[in-house]
Amino acid sequence: MIKPTRPVPRNSAAGLFHGRYKVEPEDFVVEELPLYQPEGTGEHVYLWIEKRGVSTLHLLDDLSEMLRLDPRGIGVAGLKDAQAVSRQWVSVQGITDEEAARLKGRSWRVLEARRHVNKLKMGHLLGNRFELVLRDTAPGDLAKARAGLEQMTRSGVPNYFGEQRFGKRGANLEKGMQILSEEGSRIGRRIPRRVFSLLVSAVQSEVFNRVVIRRLHGLGTLWHGDLAWIHRNGAVFVVEDPAREQKRADTLEISPSGPLPGPKMAMPLGDMRSLEAAVMAELGLTPQSFARVPFGLARGDRRPLRVPLWDASAEEAPGLGLRLRFGLPKGSYATAVLRELLTDTIWFGASDEGGEDESDADTAPD
């Protein structure tokens, strides 16, 4: 059985410390940073919802049942994990303001309702703001946390996909590899489209994580032939002169990018192209493996190998441990930050790696 590769921290063990997180949902608070605000008019009602201990998918099921709507007509910008307190926008079409005002679940509530002209779509957010409690820390750990956050603010955060991407015990990766075979691709057509997408994205995520590990200690160093990611707008360009572009990388304006394989994915040149091909070969994959995927669910894309961290701070949480606050762009995982700080983030039930809440998906592919 192919198991997801365990991401490794970039920082040395000397700078890490012990801390428990997600002991209670209130220990992991995430607030969505919207790409735009609802205008106040239109046929879609945007609900600003706070939920505790409920995943976004379960929230959508609740709304669908209460309003007797097809869940496909309900829009979200990103998915949020269950073991958390989270606030995010959800759009609903075909309900009155009075119906919106009455909505309430056992573990969620509507804080605000405003109208907008369009349905909210996946990826329509800037990122997420996190507030995390780390329990059972020791004296001196506050200084380590602040130093680690400062270093990540300067040089970025390794942009690993978190445990959540791979399903329970990593089973999605194995299933995804099976359906990428020629025979499995035909079988996969009978799987619900959303499930099919999650399985294939687990394989793409594994390829990407392995590339991050290969370049872990030079994530901000550009290579000739790299496809550099512009953080401001998500565009990429070929690096023809690394020395000329390196200043932009040093200020986190741009970063090297890695693969989410598929027939439409832009290919790098030179050593990076060879590295990506070697990682694919390790898994027994070729570009044709993804070209067979039905529904256009594996078109391919690029993803930055590192991401900026902003507004990062750490302070004592009396009686608990430490409290961290920081922001991440969409598609990034909070445990990517914790992995650079803690000795024992959880990885599929082990005691030394990272599960998580995706910065937009904490959550499904962007």
For residue 243, what pLDDT is reported?
A: 97
Q: Is the pTM of this model over 0.85?
A: yes
Beta bridge partners of 91: 46, 75
Nearest 10 degrees: Cα torsion 264, 267, 273, 276: -30
Beta bridge partners of 82: none
Q: Which domains does the chain have, with CATH numbers?
A: 36-122 (3.30.2350.20), 163-307 (3.30.2340.10)
> How many residues are present in the chain?
366
Task: Tell me whether residue 81 is one of the annotated catalytic residues.
Answer: yes
For 281, the token pair is: 């070969």
Residue with token string 């399903």: 167
| Strands 85-93 and 28-34, bridge-based pairing | parallel
For residue 185, what pLDDT is reported?
A: 55
Q: Over its length of 366 residues, how does the chain's per-residue pLDDT go in tens digits?
A: 788 999 989 977 778 999 999 999 999 999 999 999 999 999 999 999 999 999 998 999 999 999 998 887 899 999 888 889 999 999 999 889 889 989 999 999 999 999 999 999 999 999 999 999 999 999 999 999 999 999 999 999 999 998 888 988 888 999 999 888 766 556 656 677 778 888 999 999 999 999 999 999 999 999 999 999 999 999 999 999 999 999 999 999 999 999 999 999 999 999 999 999 999 999 999 988 888 887 677 889 999 999 999 999 999 999 999 999 999 999 999 999 999 999 977 665 432 222 334 443 333 333
Q: Which of these is catalytic: 81, 301, 357, 366? A: 81
For residue 154, what pLDDT is reported?
A: 96
Residue with token string 């012990």: 18
